[in-house]
Structure 1
């Protein structure tokens, strides 16, 4: 997940979000950057987990990645440019080892020249009198197009691109004059953004591309970027509590801060796109498509207890075809205390029986290391969950759901200790270093804090420590994992300062976040790439191709080592899981709340796979109206479900559970209890 945050900081985005001012600026590397490049190359080649050689094969990967970083949508470079730059494909490895950076700057300067040509086309040559009755379309899948053969062909691509943007505004009831103004302002802001680009920014971009060619979690931080990262991370703890990045023209949610207003609201999620922002309940929406990230952040942030309204395109939905959803969030200041686990108890009626279900939501795996080192009383996920379990036992719950959805991880030790609350003792995770040595992280406490029926909820954004915990619960047959396949991040990184290798250098050098080790489950399977596959699989719009570790081309592969010496519990077996799946499949095919969910997911997946969209107003309008109609139908269906007096197959609570994933997690747990498990 961190990779998306770095993308925002490095301006490594699909470069429709790059522009240059009219005057041409030629950027070039410095001697210090040359020295730093040699340092980074040496560090990665010697210490990276995979021991990857910096050779012609890696050079080709760097070359392709750098071009994609600059022009992912093939909107700027011409075919003749690519043919000319091809001479660098197998040379960049030698160049980097020697600290020779001129080719990277030559490529960037050519890009900036082509970008300025596009800006001139928009400003001086493009007519904004679009005919929206023509039956034509625009390709939105960059893999489906080739580099433009000529400037005329590129001009036509840009005509369609701007026409599509104008059509979006037209369907939002904007006047023609306003449409022209808004689009021109969008590109003026892009121009302003890159006018401040300096040599160090190109170096940052290129060195990060080089680092990520080893794996997606290995990154380079320039001194300025490292400091900005710290500032931005502290700023993200105010306002709505979300870390934002830029993707193409859109502001995208990189992560939702555990315990913050966005997290608590359940209205905004990782990978949602923010298209407009309004202040309070009466403020007018401001379209922020194409805005600089910092400007969007400033618009969203505000005083504690004030309200901000957002127009969002939900994750997994195609921004070109999905009408935005309006949400409202009350701003607040986020404190560490807000990230602690919390619980609630729900009643469920199944086949005439009532069950009390305890739900423990764990936003992150945290441990106050400083207080622990000082011998003081310290906070931790495990300590807090232990207290919650004691409270739930007093309330005589029949089973517990542990909700790890969107929990991006945290302390490895906490993942181990938390697992120990539910098993007697034994290994929880295996960690293999680059030299092949394996360390086993084990729970050594024989106490079982909770021995009753247990389910664990996961989604595609449950990562790292969440995967270690859910994997251990699954391997020990201690509980049932329900939901989506997890993220698949099974690697360990460390941040290394380059100054320690050149202590006599007076200026600050950058830092490298380097992958040093890999996690494995106790059954020997790596959590890398594949993640944890749920026992009970819920419909998910997040396919492996577009979301999670497997969506990264340079992700370290999955593999298997020997199993640990561990003893499975007798809580679950394959027959029990099969019975639970049989009941789940029946509900999936027959109960409206899951049928509706499955339909939405199927449509989202189809939407993601669309290669083109119509530029005809009536067709685009019909697509938008159909999507809006489906959404309204789903809302009415939820209202119908909530009002249904038949409580045999529904959760009966003070506030009806509209979250179908949590709802099904509770129902599966009730089925488990009914089977006499635990």
Structure 2
């Protein structure tokens, strides 16, 4: 998820002033024999904790509890699937569980050295495990199970038990591939097309070719083992390329993230990648990835990118395999995140096929043609729609963007102001501000955009460590839009999005609808180059630190941290019951409250409460929303299930049952409202000569026409119209049969 990183220059200068003052009294001098000199590691740890303790908003006490947190996070990071260490290793490591705070203070690397040496030994042993396991066919008729809930499973008692765990884990992977191959072959034989678009393409391609002789079960079984062997060979080749510095970075990050989840250490290579991501230059499929246990999870889709356009990949999907076009897929379970990214990225126009586990437990192959994510598609855009004789406008803002180095470049504040003016010229009677999946951005642009809808007053309060609160105001009395306003959010709306939604809610300026609550990130980070604090030669690049320096608060005084912004009208979605917010992270900073600012409620919307009540009634009575809520509960239930049968007949039966159950909810994706969304007049002229723009807007308008949430936002705008003041307006619901 795109995190809020606000480079507010005056705040950054204050932070640096404090740090430089400290460094003046405590200079770091580095002269090392080699880049892998342990003395460099000791200095990096010392420098990191020194900078965090003086620059962090509320640094945690480095005590035994802090030490336990480091220990837990670090061991999990080294071996998330518990397939390297055995219980005797953990017993030996455990004596350091409460000593790491003291070791850090004393520049003692005994714990790291012990775990690093043991990990290298266990990795070397594991190479023999998988090669032996894959050397002979699996017996899929045996009745046995494998539990993938690694977090709660114990470590293997000995190497024999560990090898058995490897066998079952590999067998599950090959079994999944084998059943896919068998089903594909059966479908081709029977002329049955799949619901899966990627499989359907393969079907059509093969249908035009001379039919291949069906392969035997033994041939397909052998293919899956060969594919798994190739994947694991590549995985261990990658691990062999990692050096001591790479593993030490894991340890350093375990220390950094215990201060809070958004405080991170960037080794030199990652710092470079972070700089690229902040520049907005994105290529590939247009998705952000993160590690989840031993797997890679889609954390966010980049607006305008190939994955976003395809509408098949979603946040929360787990990537199981990656294939280059129609080549054999490679299992990426257990791979380092960087290695997975390398496999997914590739030249524009080439195809990558991702085998993913959806949040509902179904397995799907998704074909994506790589492309360059155009920056234009990350900017604000608007559309108009007419219903019941009234015209409305929708502004979609994917992030609160700004270029601090160039005042003449585009920023979200200027662009949204322009879109509002264009919508006014179109004669709209209400505006929907769509902030769904907006991960944040610039605080300055939030204030600028909020100021378009209020006369003047505070927008957000900011608190830095040891300093009085600062209030950011809209001081321009001009109101660009004084008509009905609805703000859309979801559980992935974070940081700057939450500030805007909270301000509109607190002023009673707009009605907030969407997920029960937003993400809940109420902190600000700054990135600090660690090299500036070190004197000496042969030091090398030490990387950078992103640390939390401020918290922001609503104008009513409450923080958005953890709690996020509760929607005025909560609408069920498929993520309703999943733990995906800031509040679900064990060491997230706490919620708190400061004094409120003085402000005046918006008093020009007399039917505000009635519109909220009407919306709640519609949602409660809408069969489609009831189905969405039922689907969300099923997804939550599926997410908690972790035991898989390794008997092929039972495995097939379980997968078929999941697919059959998922069909009940297919109508959710097939939903279509009766609304027609159009581009604004100026854009319609531009589209006459710009076919690319025309294609993009048509694609967006098509997605809006299938969006039940946008439809409800427009219902709310209807209720907010002056003609409906004091009335109980209930929009008729389009009744559809629910398939069971």
- TM-score, structure 2 normalization: 0.79
Distance 1:286 1:302 in 2: 15
Following the alignment from structure 1 to structure 2, what is the Cα–Cα distance between the partners of residues 276 and 262?
Answer: 16
- Corresponding residue number in structure 1 for 2:75: 67
Q: Secondary structure at the match of 1:440?
A: strand
Give the superposition deviation at 1:503: 3.2
Q: Which stretch shows the higher mean deviation, 71-80 or 502-511? A: 502-511
Aligned to 2:267: 222
After superposing the two structures, state which structure 1 stretch, 445-454 or 563-572, moved more.
563-572
Instruction: Pick closer, same or farther for the CA change 1:4–1:61 going to 2, 3 Å.
Output: farther
Which of residues 346, 349, 358 in structure 1 aligns to 2:385? 346
Q: Distance in 2 between matches of 1:538 and 1:158?
A: 43
**Whole-angstrom distance in 2 between the partners of 1:534 and 1:461:** 13
Contact 1:486 1:531 in 2 (8 A): yes
Match of 1:496 in 2: 528
Paired position in structure 1 for 2:635: 604
**Structure 1 residue 302: Cα displacement:** 4.5
Is residue 323–residue 627 contact of structure 1 (8 Å, CA) maintained in 2? no
Is 1:326 aligned to residue 366 of structure 2? Answer: yes
| 1:204 and 2:249 matched | yes
* Equivalent position of 2:351 in the other structure: 308
Give the equivalent residue in structure 2 for 1:14: none
Q: Quick check: 1:359 aligned with 2:372?
A: no
In the aligned structure 1, how far is the partner of 2:602 from the partner of 2:556? Answer: 14
Shift of 1:65: 1.1
Maintained 8 Å contact 1:499/1:505: no
Q: For residue 22 of structure 1, what is the aligned residue in structure 2?
A: none
Distance 2:76 2:389 in 1: 56
2:230 counterpart SS class: helix
Q: Does 1:262 align with 2:307?
A: yes
Highest Rg: 1 or 2? 2
2:66 counterpart of 1:58: yes
Correspondence for 1:45: 53
For 2:621, which of 569, 586, 590 is the aligned residue? 586
Give 2:562's match in structure 1, choosing from 526, 529, 535: 529
Find the partner of 2:705 among 657, 665, 675. Answer: 657
| In 2: Cα distance, 1:401 partner to 1:513 partner | 34
Q: How has the CA–CA distance of structure 1 residues 234 and 577 changed in structure 2, closer, same or farther, with 3 Å as cutoff?
A: closer
Report whether the alignment pairs 1:415 with 2:423: no
Deviations 1:285-306 (A, max 9, x none): 63453466555545544454x2
SS for the counterpart of 2:600 is: coil
Hey, what does 2:714 align to over in structure 1?
666
- TM-fit CA distance, 1:544: 7.3
Instruction: Note the alpha carbon deviations across 1:292-340, whole angstroms, 9 max, x for none.
Output: 6555545544454x2635335366344xxx12153545x4333433321
Q: Secondary structure of 2:462's match?
A: strand
Taking the TM superposition and a 5 Å limit, the aligned residue runs for 1:502-651 are 502-507=534-539, 508-542=541-575, 546-570=579-603, 571=605, 573-574=608-609, 576-587=611-622, 590=623, 593-635=624-666, 639=670, 642=672, 650-651=674-675
Moved more, 242-251 or 91-100: 242-251
Superposition pairs of residues 32-111 of structure 1, within 5 angstroms: 32-111=40-119
Match of 1:118 in 2: 126
1:270–1:315 Cα contact (<8 Å) kept: no
Q: In the alignment, is the contact (CA less than 8 A) between 2:320 and 2:331 conserved in 1?
A: yes
Cα distance 1:264–1:449, how it changes in 2: closer, same or farther (>3 A)?
A: farther
CA displacement, residues 144-182 of structure 1 (integer Å, 9 cap, x when unaligned):
322222333323322221121121011111611111111
Residue number in structure 2 paired with 1:133: 141
Q: Aligned in 2, Cα 1:61/1:313: closer, same or farther, shift over 3 Å?
A: same
TM-superposed deviation, 1:131: 3.2
SS state at 1:269 partner: coil
**Partners in 2 of 1:131 and 1:378 — Cα distance?**
63
Q: Would you say the 8 A contact 2:430–2:483 is kept in 1?
A: yes
Distance 1:268 1:394 in 2: 37
Contact 2:4/2:525 (8 A) holds in 1? no
- CA distance in 2 between counterparts of 1:235 and 1:565 reads 37
Change (3 A) 1:50 1:464: same
User: Is 2:435 the partner of 1:404?
Assistant: yes
Q: Is the 8 A contact 2:360 2:639 kept in 1?
A: yes
**Alpha-carbon distance in structure 2 between the residues aligned to 1:569 and 1:677:** 17
Deviates more, 1:27-36 or 1:439-448: 27-36
Q: In 1, are the aligned partners of 2:400 and 2:445 still within 8 Å (CA)?
A: yes
- Supply the distance in 2 between the matched residues of 1:378 and 1:98 (Cα, whole angstroms): 48
C-alpha separation between the residues in 2 aligned to 1:233 and 1:394? 34
Tell me, in whole angstroms, the C-alpha distance in 1 between the residues paired with 2:277 and 2:595: 42
Inter-partner Cα distance in structure 2 for 1:2 and 1:453: 29
Q: Find the residue that maps to 2:363 and give its secondary structure.
A: coil
**Alignment coverage as a number of residue pairs:** 631
CA contact (8 A) 1:272 1:315 kept: yes
Judge conservation of contact 2:228–2:330 (CA < 8 Å) in 1: no
- Counterpart Cα distance in 1 of 2:235 and 2:261: 27
Answer yes or no: is the 8 Å Cα contact 1:275–1:310 preserved in 2: no
SS of residue paired to 1:88: coil
- The DSSP-based 3-state class of the residue aligned with 1:528 is coil
Tell me, yes or no, if structure 1 residue 242 matches structure 2 residue 306.
Answer: no
Q: Distance in 2 between matches of 1:340 and 1:228?
A: 22
Range with bigger deviation, 94-103 or 515-524: 94-103
Equivalent in the alignment of 2:30:
none
C-alpha RMSD of matched pairs (Å): 3.0
The alpha-carbon distance between structure 1 residues 233 and 261, as it changes in their structure 2 partners (threshold 3 A), is farther
Q: TM-score, normalised by structure 1?
A: 0.86
Deviation at 1:623, TM superposition (A): 2.9
SS across alignment from 1:326: strand
Contact 1:544 1:550 in 2 (8 A): no
Task: Work out the CA distance in 1 between the residues paired with 2:582 and 2:275.
Answer: 25
Cα distance in 2 for residues equivalent to 1:368 and 1:126? 53
| Cα pair 1:4 1:254 within 8 Å, conserved | no
Hey, what does 2:455 align to over in structure 1?
A: 424
